[in-house]
Every structure is written in C-alpha cells, then in structure tokens.
Amino acid sequence: MFLAKSDSLISAIPPESVPIVIVLVSIIGFTIIIERLIYFSKWKPVSQEDWRSLKELFRQRNWNTAIDFLKGMKSGPSILVLQAGIESSLKNLEAAEEEMLSAGFAQILKMERFLSGLGTIATISPLLGVLGTVLGIIRSFEEGSGTRGAEVGISEALITTAMGLAIAIPAYVAYNYFQKKKKTRLLKWKIFPVRLSNI
C-alpha cells in the first residue's frame, strides 16, 4: 500500500522538475561567484612605494596629509582600515589599534557576504543530482526495461548527476578561494597596528 502510494507520488513529479531546480540553484551560485569576484578584484594592497610615503608622513606626524594621501588612493578594504587607524590616532594614539580592528571587522562582514550561501550551494548541488538520479532510476524501473520511458528515466538520472556535479565543483572551488582571500587579508590587517607602532 505504502509502496503503491510512493510510486504514484513519484509519477506525479514531472521529470524536468529536479533539473529545473538545479538550474535555478546554478544561476544563484554563479551570480554569487561573479559578484564576489568583482568585490575581491577591487582589493588593492598598499604598494611598497605608497607605504614608504605614508611612513614618511607618519614620522613627521603629518596625519592630515596622510589621510588626504589615503583618500587619493583607490578605495579598498586595506585603505579603509588604515584610514580608520590614522583618523583615530589624531584623537587618541592608543585607541588606533582598537579602531583599526573594529574597521577590519566591518570589512570582514562585507567579505563574508553570500559566502555561506555559496557553501550551501556547493553542498546541496550534488545531493540534488543524487535525488534526480534516484527518481530517474525509479521511473526506469516503473516503465520496464527496453521501453521508451525507461530510457528517459535513465537519461534523467545521468543528466541530473552531471548537472549537480557541474555546479558543486566550481562553487566549492570558489568558496575555498574566497575564504583564503579573506584569511590572507585578515592576517595583513593584524600587522597594520604593529607597523604603525614601529614608526
């Protein structure tokens, strides 16, 4: 009785339903990847030449000029963190490190935007492929071997598996790439207060 109901429920699910869901998930996933690539491409580290110019301004205690110098550079997370520390040092030098860490935390939140969603997509995409595979195989058994319906069921199983993997692999690679970029930037931000204090 239960098996009969299960078969009828599976038969009621259109064969193209799982592939459609996978396509929608892929659109979301690749949109996130493109958006994050654009965001991370805007990161411009402080060059050695610019850092030397900044250090010279710091030694002269010429904070306002240093701030103007930073504002003239292409805006990026590193620049914003450094600028927050300098602006804070004008009021209280001891609070500069805390202000830089606070600004860095705000930038980390921006870096992590959509990454949890991308990680979820990397996880569920192959599972959706497996679901499509199972449904396709069940349909092929229902139709019987050698029939047109069985061929469609097997084709559905193979296609959904391939689609799930085609989404999961780039999503997983992109997720780890963005996480590494975030960790690398965080380590550099932690060095900023030390470099400022050594001037």
What confidence score (pLDDT) does residue 158 get?
83
122 in the same domain as 180? yes
**Three-state DSSP class for 144?**
coil
CB 125 within 8 A of CB 168: yes
Rounded to an integer, the average pLDDT of 57-70 is: 76
Long-range contacts of 41-50 (CB under 8 A, 24+ apart): 42/74, 42/75, 42/76, 43/76, 43/77, 43/78, 43/181, 43/185, 44/73, 44/74, 44/76, 44/78, 44/79, 45/76, 45/78, 45/188, 46/73, 46/78, 46/79, 46/82
| Among 141, 177, 128, 171, residue whose Cα is nearest residue 28 | 171
7 domain residue, yes or no:
yes
User: pTM (2 decimals)?
Assistant: 0.73
Rounded to an integer, the average pLDDT of 106-114 is: 85
| pLDDT band (50, 70, 90) for residue 31 | very high
190 domain residue, yes or no:
no
28 domain residue, yes or no:
yes
26 in the same domain as 119? yes
198 domain residue, yes or no:
no
157 in the same domain as 67? no
56 in the same domain as 142? no
Which two structure tokens, joined as six digits, stand for 142? 């229902």
Structural domains counted in the chain: 2
135 in the same domain as 102? no
Rounded to an integer, the average pLDDT of 113-123 is: 93
Rounded to an integer, the average pLDDT of 8-37 is: 84
Determine the Cα–Cα distance for residues 162 and 183; give it in Å rounded to an integer: 32
Query: What radius of gyration, in Å, describes the C-alpha atoms of the chain?
Result: 27
171 in the same domain as 87? no
- The percentage of the chain sitting over the pLDDT mark of 70, rounded to a whole number, equals 73
What confidence score (pLDDT) does residue 28 get?
95
- Print the domain residue range for 96: 43-111
32 in the same domain as 120? yes
What confidence score (pLDDT) does residue 66 get?
77
155 in the same domain as 126? yes
